[in-house]
Amino acid sequence: MKFNLKQFAIALALFLAGYLTFNSNLFAQALEKPKVSIAVGGKNLFYYLPLTVAEQLGYFKDEGLQVEISDFAGGAKALQALVGGSADVVSGAYEHTINMQAKNQPIVAFVLQGRAPQIVLAANNKTMPNYKSIADLKGKKIGVTAPGSSTSIMASFVLAKAGLKPTDVSFIGVGAAVGALSAIRSGQIDAIANLDPVISMLEQKNEIKIIADTRTLKDTNDVFGGPMPAATLYASEAFVKKYPNTTQALTNAMVRALKWIQKAGPSDIIKAVPESYLLGDRALYIAAFLKVREAISPDGLFPANGPATALKTLQAFEPDLASKKIDLDRTYTNEFAKKANLKYK
pLDDT digit string, tens, across residues 98-149:
999 999 999 999 999 999 999 999 999 999 999 999 999 999 999 999 999 9
Q: How do beta strands 191-194 and 170-173 pair?
A: unpaired
Q: Residue 131 and residue 333: Cα distance in Å, rounded? A: 42
Tell whether the model's pLDDT for residue 345 goes beyond 90: no
The answer to whether 153 touches 95, Cβ cutoff 8 Å, is yes
Q: Where are the alpha helices (DSSP H) in the chain?
A: 5-28, 49-56, 59-62, 75-84, 95-102, 150-161, 178-185, 198-204, 217-224, 237-242, 244-263, 266-272, 282-292, 306-315, 319-322, 335-343
Banded pLDDT at 19 (limits 50, 70, 90): very low
Task: Name beta bridge partners: 236.
Answer: 107
> Do the Cβ atoms of 73 and 183 come closer than 8 Å?
no
Residues 233-252, mean pLDDT to the nearest whole number: 98
- Check pLDDT > 50 for residue 224: yes
**What span, in angstroms and rounded, lies between the C-alpha atoms of 254 and 167?**
37
pLDDT at residue 268 is higher than 70: yes
Residues 197 and 278: their CA atoms lie apart, in Å, by: 8
In angstroms, rounded to a whole number, what is the distance separating the alpha carbons of residues 148 and 318?
A: 12
> What average pLDDT score do residues 252-281 get?
96
Q: What confidence tier does 21 reach under pLDDT thresholds 50, 70, 90?
A: very low
Q: Fill in the DSSP letter of residue 40.
A: E
Kindly state the average pLDDT of the residues 5-16.
Answer: 54
- The pLDDT tens digits of the residues spanning 52-104 come to 999 999 999 999 999 999 999 899 999 999 999 999 999 999 999 999 999 99
CA angle in degrees (0–180, nearest 5) for 274-278-284: 145
| Strand bridging mode 120-124 / 170-173 | unpaired
User: For all residues of the chain together, what is the average pLDDT?
Assistant: 93
pLDDT band at 29 (very low <50, low <70, confident <90, very high): low
Q: Are 214 and 228 in contact (CB under 8 A)?
A: yes
State the pLDDT at residue 246: 98
- Give the dihedral of Cα atoms 51, 273, 290, 297; nearest 10 deg: 10
The per-residue pLDDT for 322 is 82
Residue 10 has pLDDT above 60, yes or no: no
Looking at residue 196, what is its pLDDT? 95
pLDDT digits (tens, 9 = 90+) for 275-328: 999 989 999 999 999 999 999 999 999 999 999 999 999 999 998 898 899 999
Q: Within a 10 A sphere around the Cβ of 342, how many other Cβ atoms?
A: 8
Residues 181-202: tens digit of each pLDDT: 999 999 999 999 999 999 999 9
Give the predicted TM-score (pTM) of the model. Answer: 0.89
What is the pLDDT, as a whole number, of residue 82? 98
* 255 pLDDT higher than 90: yes
15 has a pLDDT exceeding 90: no
CA-closest candidate to residue 228, choices 293, 313, 143, 101: 313
Residues ≥6 apart with Cβ < 8 Å to 255: 111, 299, 300, 337, 340, 341, 343, 344
pLDDT for the residue numbered 304:
93
Percent of the chain with pLDDT over 90: 89
